[in-house]
C-alpha cells in the first residue's frame, strides 16, 4: 500500500512529466524564469543573440519566446531593436490579479451554465484529493509547496476546460502571465509557516465550493467564488509587501525586484 508521502512523490513526478513540452515552450519557460528570478532585472536590455547563447537553443524558439513575453507584458520592445525587461508598480500587480479573477469568474459561470464533461469533473475531484495530501501536514516543506503549485495550476486549468471557451481562455492565459497574477503566483508569495498552510486550506475550500457550484449549475455563485478566490492572492501580496522595507528584496522572492515601490 502506498503511503501519503509516496502518493505525493508520484503526484509531483506526474506533474513534472506533464509539463514536458517542445523546445519552444522550454525556451519560453527558461526565459520567463530568468526574469522572475531576478537574473534579468527590471530595465535590463536584452538581445535575441544573447538569449540564444544563454539558453543554448536556436533563434526560432528564442524569437517566439521574446514575442510571447512581450505580449504578456514582461518585456518591452525597443525602437532600436531588442527588448527591455519591464518593471511594475504595486497597482499593476493588483490589477493583474483582479483581471485574472474576473476572467476566471466568467469561465466558472460559463462552466456551470454549459454542458459539463463528466471526465473533467472527475479529474478535478481527483486533483482536489491530491491537494489534500499536499496539505496534510501542519506546515509545508518545499516539496509539498511544489506539489501544491503544480496541482493548483492543474485544477484551474480543468475549470477553464469546463467552460469550453477558447476565446476567454486565451485572454486568461495572457493575464495570468503577469508576475504574481497566475494562480501559482499566490503560492510563491507564501512563507513556510502554519499561517501559509492555513491560507492554502482556505483556498482549497474555495476550490471545492466552486466545483460544487459548477456541478449544481449555479453560475452566479461559481463566478462570485472565483472572484473572491483571486482576492486571496491580492491580500497575500499586500501583506508581504507591507512586511518588507521598500529597499529590501526577500531572498526567497527575487521577482520582487520587478516591483517599483514607494519609499
Domain count for the chain: 2
pTM above 0.75, yes or no: no
Looking up residue 167, the CATH number of its domain turns out to be 1.20.120.530
Asked if residue 260 belongs to a domain, the reply is no
Is residue 189's pLDDT more than 60? Answer: no
Is residue 17's pLDDT more than 60? Answer: no
Looking up residue 59, the CATH number of its domain turns out to be 1.10.10.10
pLDDT band at 191 (very low <50, low <70, confident <90, very high): low
- Mind spelling out the 3-state secondary structure of the chain? CCCHHHHHHHHHHHHHHHCCCCHHHHHHHHHHHHHHCCCCCCCCEECHHHHHHHHCCCHHHHHHHHHHHHHHCCEEECCCCCEEECCEEHHHHHHHHHHHHHHHHHHHHHHHHCCCCHHHHHHHHHHHHHHHHHCCCCCCCHHHHHHHHHHHHHHHHHHHHHHCCHHHHHHHHHHHCCCCCCHHHHHHCCCCCHHHHHHHHHHHHHHHHHHHHHHCCCHHHHHHHHHHHHHHHHHHHHHHHHCCCCCCCCCCCHHHHHEECCC
Residues 108 and 59 in one domain: no
Report which of residues 44 and 253 the model is more confident about: 44
Residues 155 and 240 in one domain: yes
Amino acid at each position: 500500500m502506498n503511503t501519503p508521502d509516496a502518493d505525493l512523490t508520484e503526484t509531483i513526478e506526474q506533474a513534472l512529466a506533464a509539463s514536458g513540452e517542445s523546445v519552444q515552450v522550454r525556451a519560453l519557460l527558461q526565459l520567463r524564469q530568468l526574469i522572475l528570478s531576478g537574473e534579468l532585472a527590471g530595465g535590463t536590455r536584452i538581445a535575441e543573440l544573447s538569449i540564444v547563447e544563454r539558453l543554448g537553443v536556436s533563434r526560432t524558439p528564442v524569437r517566439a519566446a521574446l514575442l510571447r513575453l512581450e505580449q504578456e507584458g514582461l518585456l518591452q520592445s525597443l525602437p532600436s531593436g531588442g527588448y527591455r525587461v519591464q518593471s511594475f508598480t504595486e497597482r499593476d500587480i493588483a490589477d493583474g490579479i483582479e483581471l485574472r479573477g474576473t476572467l476566471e469568474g466568467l469561465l466558472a459561470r460559463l462552466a456551470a451554465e454549459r454542458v459539463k464533461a463528466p471526465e473533467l469533473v472527475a479529474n478535478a475531484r481527483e486533483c482536489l484529493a491530491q491537494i489534500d495530501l499536499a496539505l496534510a501536514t501542519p506546515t509545508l516543506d518545499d516539496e509539498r509547496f511544489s506539489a501544491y503549485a503544480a496541482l493548483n495550476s492543474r485544477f484551474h486549468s480543468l475549470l477553464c476546460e469546463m467552460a469550453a471557451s477558447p476565446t476567454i481562455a486565451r485572454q486568461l492565459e495572457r493575464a495570468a502571465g503577469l508576475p504574481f497574477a497566475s494562480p501559482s503566483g499566490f503560492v510563491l508569495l507564501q512563507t513556510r509557516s502554519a499561517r501559509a498552510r492555513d491560507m492554502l486550506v482556505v483556498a482549497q475550500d474555495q476550490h471545492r465550493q466552486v466545483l460544487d457550484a459548477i456541478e449544481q449549475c449555479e453560475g452566479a455563485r461559481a463566478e462570485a467564488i472565483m472572484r473572491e478566490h483571486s482576492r486571496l492572492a491580492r491580500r497575500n501580496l499586500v501583506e508581504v509587501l507591507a512586511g518588507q522595507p521598500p529597499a529590501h528584496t526577500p531572498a526567497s522572492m527575487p521577482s520582487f525586484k520587478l516591483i517599483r515601490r514607494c519609499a
